[in-house]
Chains A and B, each alone.
Chain A
Amino acid sequence: MNQNNLSQCIADLKALEEMLIQCSRCGTCQSVCPLYKKDLNESTVARGKIFLIEALAQGKLERADEIYEYLDYCILCGRCKTNCPSGVATDEIFLKSKAIIRQVKKLPLWQKTILKTAMGNPQLLAALSPLFHIGLRLGNKKIDDGIFKAGALLSPMLGDMADRHIADMPSKALTKLYGGFNQAKDEKQRVIFYPGCATTLIYVHWGIAMIETLLHYGVSVYVPETNNCCGIPSATMGELELYREQVGKNFDYFDSIEDADTILMCCPTCEYGLGSLAEKETGRQKNKRVMDIVVFMAEVLNVQLEHKIELTGSSSLHVPCHYNGAKAPILQKFIANNFITDFKPLKNQSCCGFGGTFSLKNYPHTRELGKKKATEIKERGFSQLFTACPGCAMNLTDANLTAGNYLKATHPVVEIYEKRIKPQRN
């Protein structure tokens, strides 16, 4: 290991001291961390990780690469931060520390390739999506409508992920279909819809449903011609520079639209990635309000179907990690206002285990956490599972199919579109 780099790394970590010292090691994070609850090991929980960073900064430890591995074993669900009695900014500490330790622990080639080509070059990714689509159809085992097991063909690339249920990748990206300005018939207002990678490339039907629903309610929608990544994958891989760059591109786009002051998102992680962290890291302000699509539908459009949609069987809701506390009740009320269903909350309110890049690197752990969710869903016999995040939906669909529950996680707005708005049109 390069000694100069390590010295620089230690010096940079020392700059985090004011944030690190806030941790009183009370251990409250143990009670909320999904990984600690599974592993019961101090290295998996915030106070342990913070102690490791401190020890490295104080020169008590030398193996920065090992510490990186420990810091990297984190879903970034944010529960430790939300529940910390001392208000420690755990997410910021971990992302910054990873970026600092990157000086001595270089990004593995495959992660670099993903970041540079996929996240860093969204046009290319969108252009390639028909190829992925064809590849998936050829090389994989169809499990259910639109769901595949990646199987042997892709296993060298995906490793443990080859076993995963993945959604069929549509032949056209959402931005190809809707990029630009979409005018509503009786326009009442204009918004920007930032779909995020998952909805642009994989859960395209979610994006279609959301945009069409907005148009139906007289909301004209700006959709980016190219969906630039929100930057969270870069940040979690310790590439804060690339993160800032990606945030900057998105802020440029938001700024370029002058006649809409609301940005709608349907991925809570994107909302988090482009939220206060982004403003802090880039020193820029969005000057527009950012809202989750459900919150917009519920609070701004006051959508309440006159004839609610009747669902068979009982339903439940998985609240995404980055769907912060205040929004969860709105989501639940929105479901109650628009669906006739025997709704019961999940007992296990923890993370689904996905965590984006976490899942790429740690699929067996993802699967373990997802299984806990799926087991409860199976035992309590839910036939419908709502969520408000495409990442959670993908992961929970995988977890449920693995557990033998033939249930796909879905979004309330998508259900409203599919079951009410779309049939009315035809």
Chain B
Amino acid sequence: MIAKSVLNSFKAIVGDNDYWDQPSDLVLYSFDSSVEDPVLPDLVVRPETTEEVAAICRLCSEHDIPLITRGSGTNLAGSTIPVAGGCIILMTRMNRILEINTDDMYAVVQPGVITAEFAEAVQQAGLFYPPDPGSQKMSTIGGNIAENAGGLRGLKYGVTKDYVMGATFCDMAGNIVKAGGKTVKLCTGFNLTGLLSQSEGQLGVITECILKLVPPSKAHKAMLVSFDDMIDAGNTVSGIIRSHVLPATMELMDNFTIRTVHEATGADMPIDATALLLLEVDGHPAVVEEEYAIVQRICAENNGKITVAETAAERESLWEGRRKALSSLARLRPTLVLEDVTVPRTKIPDFLKALDEIKTRHDLVIGTFGHAGDGNLHPTILCDKRDEAEMERVHAAVADMFAAALEMGGTCSGEHGIGLAKQSFMVDEVGQGTINYMKSIKAGVDPKNLLNPHKQAL
């Protein structure tokens, strides 16, 4: 129970309109996009300035109140669920793009800026911000950094952490900390920017971000390649990369997903194919043609049938089919458990084989699609959270998936983060020594463990 006087101090910082402590409001911040159980916070505040954030941090610290940073609340690992109660600090009002510098190719934004809106603004300015997580239309940049969000362009362009040049954040002592900066090279002190990426709000509250921008590619060519055999698809992926071609995107869909998308949307898809790759090469027009020739050869060697998108409309409909994968699957059953297990990309055929066995062993419906180019797959389990027996099988299957991935040198999370959902798997993956080291860092900057506690095994 937080004393009334303390609650009033929070209200004094942000004002009446950005403060909530009644059950009907608290319940709205008890959940995120994960399937983890909701937990009520004690209060919700929505600051508008770095100074207000620092004041909130100090107040929480003074009264031992857990502080959980939340953007759009779209993460898939329970990272924003206030498991120990406390204060939700909502960053949605800090949503201004402060600068897009086309000469030095960086942007300064507040953490509540919506990813897709930022990418659009950058494009208008003639540059390119590549990270495109599936939730980009609603996710915030701050959340993307805290979760190190990925997307379809990981192989060639990297993920969010590769675009964070710097950030301003507040710690629990109320310090305003500057990490990184606007220069390409920067060697001042610890690489705090790196530490902040995928910290899941456990090391500070980000209030400003400096992001790297790149020139957009001049040309692109998108194609759909269908296969009768999953091994051929896997070999095509590794063959292309072995030939030193880095497609901007290289997406895989299994037969179940292909059929589901076709049935749900009527999209023109090769429904008899065992697997398909959606692939796009980009860059200078000459390079695009040269790389396309290589891709053509490798697909032919691996029995892949290529259909090239000749017009902008065809390209759009090709990617529309991929974008509709998750939603088409989602309509089949009430609950959807979306995993993001990742293996070295050459292991994709092995992993898909293991996945088939897991599916049969636990009697579950699983559709698989994902980012084949970077080994990041999205096995999507379709179930009903009200069916306890089925959910037990789901949990067992997830555990088996991660065990299989670990054996192949992979990871339990490529882009969704650990949060509450994958804590035990993370310990298996990195070992207790790593957890101990992370704990030491955390204890140093947040001795009372108030910043988003009980996440990532901390």
Interface residues of A (CB under 8 A from B): 18, 21-22, 24-28, 30-31, 40-43, 48, 51-52, 55, 60-63, 66-67, 70, 85-87
Question: What distance in Å separates the Cβ of A139 from its nearest Cβ neighbour in chain B?
Answer: 35
Give the shortest distance, in Å, between A60 (CB) and chain B (any CB): 7
**Do B137 and A31 have beta carbons less than 8 Å apart?**
yes
The residues of A that contact B116 with a CB separation of less than 8 Å are 31
- How far is A42 from B93 in the complex, measured between Cα atoms in Å? 13
B24 touches A52 (CB 8 A): yes
Chain B interface SS verdict (over half):
loop
Q: A86-B327, A87-B331 are in contact. Are A51 and B137 (CB under 8 A)?
A: no
Measured in the bound complex, the distance between the Cα atoms of B22 and A62 in whole Å is 11
| Interface size range of chain B in the complex | 20 to 34
Q: Is the CB of A85 within 8 A of B95?
A: no
- Decide yes or no: A55 and B386 within 8 Å by CB, A24-B33, A27-B74, A31-B137 being known contacts: no
> B274: CB under 8 A from chain A?
no
Please determine whether A24 and B335 come into contact, CB atoms closer than 8 angstroms.
Answer: yes
Which B residues, 114 to 161, have Cβ-Cβ distances below 8 Å to chain A? 114, 116, 135, 137-138
State A51–B334 Cα separation when bound (angstroms): 15
Q: How far is the CA of A24 from the CA of B333 in the complex (A)?
A: 11
- When distances are taken between beta carbons in the complex, the residues of chain A under 8 Å from B27 are 51-52, 55, 60-61
Contacts of A41 in B (CB 8 A): 28, 92
Tell me the complex Cα distance, A38–B112, Å: 14
Q: Is B336 an interface residue (CB 8 A)?
A: yes
**B28 lies within 8 A of A27 (CB):** no
Of the candidates B28, B92, B114, B336, the one whose C-beta lies within 8 Å of that of A51 is B28
Given A21-B386, A24-B335, A66-B137 contact (CB < 8 Å): no
Cβ–Cβ < 8 Å partners of A22 in chain B = 334
Residue interface mask B329-347, A partner, CB < 8 A = 1: 0110011100000000000
Q: Is B326 an interface residue (CB 8 A)?
A: yes
A63 and B24 contact, CB distance less than 8 A: yes
Given contacts A27-B138, A67-B24, 16 further A-B contacts (CB under 8 A): A21-B386, A24-B335, A25-B32, A26-B74, A27-B73, A27-B135, A28-B137, A30-B138, A42-B28, A51-B28, A52-B27, A60-B27, A61-B23, A61-B27, A63-B23, A86-B327
Can you sample 27 A-B contacts with CB below 8 Å? A21-B335, A21-B384, A21-B385, A21-B386, A22-B334, A24-B336, A26-B74, A26-B135, A26-B330, A27-B33, A27-B135, A27-B138, A30-B72, A30-B74, A31-B114, A41-B28, A41-B92, A42-B28, A43-B25, A51-B27, A51-B31, A51-B38, A60-B27, A61-B23, A86-B330, A86-B331, A87-B331
- B137 — nearest CB in chain A belongs to which residue? A31
B292 within 8 A of A: no
Given contacts A43-B28, A61-B23, A85-B330, contact A31 B138 (CB under 8 A): yes
Whole-angstrom CA separation of A224 from B330 in the bound complex: 44
Name the residue among A21, A26, A86, A87 with the largest chain B CB count within 10 angstroms: A26
A24: chain B residues at CB < 8 Å are 33, 330, 335-336
List of B residues within 8 angstroms of A26 by Cβ: 33, 74, 135, 330
Min CB distance A49 to B, Å, is 9
Name B91's closest neighbour in chain A (CB-CB).
A40
A52→B138 contact, CB < 8 A: no
Chain B residues near A40 (CB-CB < 8 A): 46, 92-93, 95, 112
Closest chain A CB from B355 CB (angstroms): 22
A178 → B minimal CB distance (Å) = 42
- What chain A residues lie within 8 Å of B385 (beta carbons)? 21
Given known A-B contacts A26-B33, A27-B138, A48 and B28 have beta carbons under 8 A apart: yes
Contact A27 B326 (CB under 8 A): no
CA distance A31 to B134 in the complex (A): 13
Which residues from chain B contact A87 at a C-beta distance below 8 Å?
330-331
Residue B425, interface by CB 8 Å: no
State whether the Cβ of B29 lies closer than 8 Å to any Cβ in chain A.
Answer: yes
| Most A CB within 10 A of own CB, among B24, B25, B72, B92 | B24
Complex formed: what's the CA distance from A67 to B28 in Å?
11
Q: Which residues of A contact B331 (CB under 8 A)?
A: 85-87
How distant is B348 from chain A, measured CB to nearest CB, in Å? 25
Taking CB atoms, residues of chain A closer than 8 Å to B386 are: 21
Query: Is there an interface contact between B327 and A85, defined as CB atoms closer than 8 Å?
Result: yes
Chain B residues near A28 (CB-CB < 8 A): 137-138
Complex contacts, B326 vs chain A, CB 8 Å: 85
Chain A residues with CB under 8 Å of B32's CB are 25
Residue of A nearest to B32 (CB): A25
Q: Find the A residue at minimum CB distance from B385.
A: A21
Could you tell me the distance between the alpha carbons of A40 and B44 in the complex, rounded to whole angstroms?
A: 13
- Expressed in whole angstroms, the minimum distance between the Cβ of B121 and any Cβ of chain A is 13
* Bound-state Cα–Cα, A17 to B457, Å: 34
Q: What are the interface flags for B313-332 relative to A under an 8 Å C-beta threshold, 1 for contact and 0 otherwise? A: 00000000000001100110
Which of B29, B95, B138 has the largest number of chain A CB atoms within 10 A? B138
Nearest A-chain residue to B331, judged by Cβ: A87
CB atoms of A61 and B33 under 8 A apart: no
Contact of A42 among B38, B73, B336 (CB under 8 A): B73
CB distance from A94 to the nearest CB of B (A): 16
**Neighbouring A residues of B29 by C-beta, 8 Å:** 42
A48 to B331, CA, bound (A): 20
B73-A66 in contact (CB<8A):
no
A68 CB to closest chain B CB (Å) equals 10
Shortest CB-to-CB span from B320 to chain A, Å, is 13
| B76 vs chain A, min Cβ distance (A) | 9
Give B73's nearest chain A residue, CB to CB: A27
Residues of the A chain whose Cβ atoms lie less than 8 Å from the Cβ of B24:
43, 52, 61, 63, 66-67, 70
Task: Determine the chain B residues whose CB is within 8 A of the CB of A42 once the complex forms.
Answer: 28-29, 73
Cβ of A238 to closest chain B Cβ, rounded Å: 17
How far is A43 from B74 in the complex, measured between Cα atoms in Å? 15
Question: In the complex, what distance in Å separates the CA atom of A38 from the CA atom of B386?
Answer: 35
CB atoms of A21 and B334 under 8 A apart: yes
Chain A residues near B25: list those with CB within 8 A: 43
Complex interface: chain A residues within 8 A of B46 (CB): 40
Whole-angstrom distance between the alpha carbons of A60 and B326 in the complex?
31
| C-alpha spacing A30/B136, complex, angstroms | 11
Complexed CA–CA distance, A28 and B92 (Å): 15
Shortest Cβ distance from B327 into A: residue:
A85
Min CB distance, B72 to chain A, in Å? Answer: 6
Question: How far apart are A370's CB and chain B's nearest CB, in angstroms?
Answer: 21
Interface centre among A22, A42, A48, A51, by most chain B C-beta atoms within 10 angstroms, is: A42
**Shortest Cβ distance from residue A105 to the other chain B in the assembled complex, whole angstroms:** 13
Chain A positions within 8 Å of B92 at CB level: 40-41
Chain B residue with the shortest CB-CB distance to A25: B33
Chain A residue nearest to B136 (CB atoms) is: A31
Q: A86 to nearest B CB, angstroms?
A: 4
Smallest CB–CB gap between A187 and chain B, Å? 40
Docked pose: A284 CA to B32 CA in angstroms = 40
Cα distance A423–B334 when bound, in Å?
59
Q: How far is the CB of A133 from chain B (nearest CB, A)?
A: 41
Closest to B27 in A: A55
Residues on the B chain within 8 Å of A60, using CB: 27
Docked CA distance A352–B72 (Å): 24
A40 to B71, CA, bound (A): 10
Distance of B388 from chain A, by nearest CB (Å): 15
Most chain A Cβ neighbours within 10 Å, of B28, B93, B95, B137: B28
Q: Tell me the bound Cα distance from A21 to B33 in angstroms.
A: 13
Chain B residues, Cβ within 8 Å of A30: 72, 74, 138
Question: Which of chain A's residues have a CB closer than 8 A to the CB of B335?
Answer: 21, 24
Measured between beta carbons, the chain A residues less than 8 angstroms from B93 are: 40
A34–B72 Cα gap in the complex (Å)? Answer: 15
A232 to B385 Cα, complex, angstroms? 35
Chain A residue, CB-CB nearest to B325: A85
Task: Assess A27 versus B72: contact at CB under 8 Å? Given A43-B25, A52-B24, A85-B326.
Answer: yes
* Cα distance A62–B74 in the bound complex, in angstroms: 27
B237 → chain A, closest Cβ, in Å? 27
A48 to B327, CA, bound (A): 19
